[in-house]
């Protein structure tokens, strides 16, 4: 089966999020149309859905934050951890922060959070359309204003907010920080480059990220393409980032997602002109 779901729109102090396929408990996607309209994602999937897919429109900088891994999140909150990835759809002088630029001790981290200089020791990237960043749980990060991107992540809402530029939330109160909780969640290792490098293919599958939490690919299409799903025994999620297309006959436009259940033996993408699609499965 191919399912479309009602989007979940969230207004935040820095911009907006559009959750197009959510397995987060208490904020599950609901089937939008067809004979099973009104059913939740877990009902049509047959159990807890492991991912959350969203579109993020950042007008202002997001907080500097980190997410715990599965073990720590379960120990503290009885929830999943949060590994995620970003695909930049467009950027208006946008930037991202991802990982430490050099070695930082726990003591320096605490001091820099307190005096507001923590951004100075993070790796900053000016971004453009097509940039990809993989963020395993534990990697300190932030999205900068002027960025519009697609995010695929584990179905978790556990975020440790480290630094938020002293701003107020939509309720006019300071937003809660989790500086101490973050200490045991942070991966302190330093990498030479946090950007995901990949080889781009037109009218074919472009692999982007493969990890235990999800496998994600890009389809940049001007012609129909088919893919055998025989080796995927879970689900197949498709996000439309640009243009319009049909997915096994189901129409999609930019900002939408569809879910193919495991009984679909294959998928056929048919773009109307040019379309960019992001696919993911576990």
pLDDT over 90 (residue 48)? yes
Rounded mean pLDDT of the chain? 96
Q: How confident is the model at residue 280 (pLDDT cuts 50, 70, 90)?
A: very high
- Distance of alpha carbon 128 from alpha carbon 81, whole angstroms: 28
Q: Quick one: average pLDDT of 55-62?
A: 96
Query: Computed from CA positions of residues 260, 264, 267, 271, in that sequence, does the dihedral angle turn out positive or negative?
Result: negative
pLDDT at 159: 96
Report DSSP letters for 125-180, one per residue: EE--TT-EEEE-TT--EEEPTTEEEEEEEES----EEEE-TT-B-TTSSBPP--HH
What tens digit of pLDDT does each residue of 113-156 get?
Answer: 999 999 999 999 999 999 999 999 999 999 999 999 999 999 99
Q: Are 141 and 82 in contact (CB under 8 A)?
A: no
Domains along the chain with CATH numbers: 2-196 (2.60.120.10), 205-281 (2.60.120.10)
pLDDT at 82: 97
Q: Specify the pairing of strand 132-135 against strand 84-91.
A: antiparallel
Is there a catalytic annotation at residue 161?
yes
Q: Quick one: average pLDDT of 4-20?
A: 97
What tens digit of pLDDT does each residue of 207-248 get?
Answer: 999 999 999 999 999 999 999 999 898 999 999 999 999 999
- Please pick, among 161, 175, 195, 262, the residue that the annotation labels catalytic: 161
Q: Quick one: average pLDDT of 70-74?
A: 97
Q: How confident is the model at residue 168 (pLDDT cuts 50, 70, 90)?
A: confident
Q: Quick one: average pLDDT of 166-189?
A: 92
pTM: 0.96
pLDDT at 174: 87
pLDDT at 93: 86
pLDDT at 42: 95
Q: Are 121 and 175 in contact (CB under 8 A)?
A: no
């Amino acid at each position: 089966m191919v399912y479309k779901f009602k989007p979940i729109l969230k207004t935040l102090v820095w911009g907006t999020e559009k959750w197009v396929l959510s397995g987060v408990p208490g904020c599950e996607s609901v089937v939008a149309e067809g004979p099973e309209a009104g059913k939740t994602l877990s009902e049509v999937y047959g159990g807890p859905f492991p991912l959350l897919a969203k579109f993020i429109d950042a007008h202002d900088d997001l907080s500097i934050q980190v997410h715990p891994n599965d073990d720590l999140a379960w120990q503290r909150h009885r929830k999943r951890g949060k590994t995620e990835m970003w695909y930049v759809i467009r950027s208006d002088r946008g930037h991202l922060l991802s990982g430490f630029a050099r070695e930082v001790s726990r003591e320096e981290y605490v001091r820099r959070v307190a005096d507001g200089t923590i951004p100075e020791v993070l790796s900053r990237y000016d971004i453009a359309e097509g940039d990809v960043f993989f963020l395993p749980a534990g990697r300190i990060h932030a999205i900068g204003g002027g960025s519009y991107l697609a995010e695929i992540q584990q179905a978790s809402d556990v975020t440790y907010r480290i630094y938020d530029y002293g701003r107020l939330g939509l309720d006019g109160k300071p937003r809660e920080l989790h500086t101490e909780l973050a200490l045991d969640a942070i991966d302190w290792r330093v990498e030479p480059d946090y950007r995901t490098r990949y080889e781009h293919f037109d009218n074919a599958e472009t692999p982007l990220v493969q990890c235990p939490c999800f496998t994600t690919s890009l389809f940049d299409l001007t012609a129909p393409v088919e893919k055998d799903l025989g080796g995927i025994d879970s689900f197949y999620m498709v996000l439309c980032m640009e243009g319009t297309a049909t997915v096994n006959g189901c129409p999609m436009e930019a900002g939408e997602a569809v879910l193919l259940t495991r009984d679909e033996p294959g998928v056929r993408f048919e773009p109307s002109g040019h379309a960019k699609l992001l696919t993911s499965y576990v």
